[in-house]
Amino acid sequence: MSLAVGIDVAKLIHWVAAVDDDGHQILSRRCDNTPDDITALIGDLKHLAAEHGPVTVAVDILGGIASMLITMLLDAGLDLVHTPGLLVNRSRRATRGGERKSDPADAKVIADQVRLRAANGELRRLAPVTEPDAALRLLVSRRGDLVVDRTRRQARLHDLLASVNPGLERIVDPTTKTGLWLLTRFVTASEIRAAGLDGLTEHMRELPRLPRRTVTKLLGAALAAADAQRARVAGETIAADILR
């Protein structure tokens, strides 16, 4: 005899279902995502283990909102596995009424997957996360956020520049020090024409060690683009201020 437990993880309330070897459900209850409620759940699971045999618990989410739950379950010595969300969704849809999602139904599906697959080693077993692993995950996640933010800012910069000075947008690369430094002062065609070559050159000299050939080529192209655009775009002053 053994017991398969499925936990549908959520931010505030987890739902827990347990089935025996024959698939009969013997537990279905909520568990608040609090230390006290999780401790009470662990006590219930150990009590059921004494009656029905070894307990295998599965969660459908790793990390994030499931971190405290997973940590406490592992610290309690429970056997813990992971059922991927895609597996849960497809398995639920294969059941009668499975198109209607509910936490109790998903918890039952997770428990059934444990009953059918865990003994064969088809589900990944979870182990306590070490401090270096946790730190690495957080740093990788943070780096991903920074990359996304940087990409979003660059896309927004290109969009703003193209809206007021499309000629300059085609020639300047804001990911380089040279291009970015030009845009800290000169954005619109009228600003570039008013500054002229001398004004642009003086500004570029304020940042030392820029490649002279690159600067000369960029300023020549910027002046040509500004000379070709005589139309003043509505809102270009505000757009330029935002871009700078």
pLDDT per residue rounded down to tens, the chain (244 residues): 789 999 999 999 999 999 998 889 999 999 999 999 999 999 999 999 999 999 999 999 998 899 999 999 999 999 999 998 777 777 766 565 555 567 888 899 999 989 988 778 889 999 888 889 888 988 999 999 999 999 999 999 999 999 999 999 999 999 899 999 999 999 999 999 999 999 999 999 998 999 999 999 999 999 999 999 999 989 999 988 998 8
Tokens 């990390």 correspond to 63
What is the pLDDT, as a whole number, of residue 97?
53
Cα-based angle 98, 101, 107 (whole degrees, multiple of 5):
90
Domain boundaries in the chain? 3-126, 155-243
For the chain, what is the total number of helices (H) and then of strands (E)? 10, 6
Q: Confirm if 243 and 221 have CB atoms less than 8 A apart.
A: no
- Please give the pLDDT value at position 1: 75
Give the integer Cα–Cα distance in Å for 145 and 171: 28
User: CA–CA distance from 219 to each of 137, 194, 204, 208 (Å)?
Assistant: 44, 13, 9, 16
CATH class of segment(s) 3-126: alpha beta
